[in-house]
Amino acid sequence: MADRLTARFGEPPRLQDLVRAALAEDVGSCDVTTEATVSGERRGIARVVARATGVVAGLEAFAETYRQVDPDLVLELSLRDGAAVGDGDLVARSTGRYASLLLAERTALNFLQRLSGIATLAARFVAAVQGTDARIVDTRKTTPGWRALEKAAVRSGGGLNHRMGLYDAYLIKENHVSGAGGLEAALAAASRHDTRGLPIEIEVRSLAEVDAVLASSHRPDRVLCDNFDLTELARAVRRIKSVDEAPLVEASGNVSLATARAIAETGVDWISVGALTHSAPALDLSCLIDLE
C-alpha cells in the first residue's frame, strides 16, 4: 500500500522546491517596484536583526532563498539553528546587488520568522517542564508542505518529534477503534500488520480504557491519554507503570504553557502540543538594507 500511495502522491517536497514555489508566489514575473526605483548595478548590505527574545530556526531555508535569487550574493550567518537571540542581535548579513537583496527579503524572512517562532514556543514549553522527566513533542498539525521544516524547528527549540506522518508509526485513535470493531481488535490488527517494528500507540479516553489496554495480549509501545484531568492522568500513569514499565505514557489535549508543568508532574513521559506548529507566533525579525 505504501508503494501505491507514493506513486499516487509522490515524494515529500524538497527544500529547494519549497523555496522555489515561495519565490514564484511572491515575485511572479518581476518585482515591479524595485525595477522602477533601483539601478541594477547598485550594491547593498542587508542585515537581519532580532527585535525580540527567542530561538532561531530555519536558517537553511533562509540561505536557500538568497542562493536561488542570486548565487552571487554573499551571505554570512551569525548564528545556527537553536541559538538564543535577544532584541538587537544580528542574525545574518548579506552583500551584493541591492535589487537582489530586495527580491529575497520577504520570502527569506517568512521562512525565518515562522520557523523561529516555532522554535521559540517549543523552547518555552521545554522550559516549563524543566526538572521533570516529561518531554515536549509535536503533532501532525503542521502547515501543508512545511512539515519537515516545522518539525526541525521544534527540535531546534529542544522538543521531540512525534511521528512524521501516517507511515512511520501506528496511532490507533477513537475512529480506528470504532472501525476495527473494538480496542482489542484494533491492537491485534496493528500487531499483525506491523512487519517493520514500528511503534504502536493507542489513544485512551478513560481509566476503563487504560485497564482494557493493560489487559490486552497485544500491549502497545505507547499509551496516549487524551483530555484526562490531572487526577485521572496521575492515576493512569500509576496504573500503567505498576503493571508494565515499558509503555511510554503520553498526554494530550488542552495543553498550554500554564498547564504544561502540572501535566508533567503527573509522571507522563511525553506531552504532545499541537500549538507548537499550528499556533506559534512568528519571531519578530527585521531586515535593514543600506547602500554598500
Give the catalytic positions in this structure. 106, 141, 173, 203, 226
Q: What angle do CA 74, 82, 60 make, to 5 degrees?
A: 35
Cell of 121: 514556543
Which residues neighbour 186 within 8 Å (Cβ) at sequence distance 6 or greater?
A: 172, 176, 177, 179, 180, 202
Please tell me the distance from the alpha carbon of residue 11 to that of residue 2, in angstroms, as a whole number: 11
Instruction: Find, among 209, 251, 204, 212, the residue nearest to 230 by Cα.
Output: 251
Instruction: Find, among 280, 269, 20, the residue nearest to 156 by Cα.
Output: 280
**Contact (CB, 8 A) for 230 and 262:** yes
Phi/psi of residue 157, nearest 5 degrees: -85, 0
**CB-count exposure of residue 248 (10 Å: 0-12, 13-18, 19+):** middle
Instruction: Find, among 277, 288, 242, 248, the residue nearest to 114 by Cα.
Output: 277
Give the bridge partners for 47, in sequence order. Answer: 93, 288
